[in-house]
Amino acid sequence: QVQLVESGGGSVQAGGSLRLTCAAFGYDVVRYSMAWFRQAPGKEREGVASIDSQGTTRYADSVNGRFTISRDIAKNTLYLQMNSLKPEDTAMYYCAAAPRGYMGRIHFEVVEYKLWGQGTQVTVSS
């Protein structure tokens, strides 16, 4: 069964760090593009970080320099290292996969991602 399973969320104080993990089953994290999205209550889902089949990474301006997306080929797992967390980073974080290796300008288009995890909650207190 093809699925993505996230873990690693939790509650931290501002300035703290968390590492999110997305284990991919039946899906090759290297062959296709993957991304992390987040959604806060009352807000639209937004792209946070993406990585394509060539290893090119892209970040939302709001997290650039603080978050790092990476993948472990041997474990077929995607990660999101989040440092210097802020209260505005509070949201449900989702791992997503797209059926293409290169995304280009559409790397944060929600509709392009066809496989989603169940989400993991991140709460940052001030």
Q: What is the pLDDT of residues 86-126, one digit of tens each?
A: 999 999 999 999 999 888 888 999 999 999 999 999 999 99
d(CA 71, CA 35): 11
d(CA 54, CA 68): 16
Q: Which two three-digit tokens encode residue 75?
A: 């474990």
Quick one: how far is CA 85 from the chain centroid? 15
Q: Do the beta carbons of residue 8 and residue 23 sit within 8 Å? A: no
- What pLDDT, on the 0 to 100 scale, is given for residue 86? 98
Q: What is the pLDDT of residues 62-91, one digit of tens each?
A: 999 999 999 999 999 999 999 999 999 999
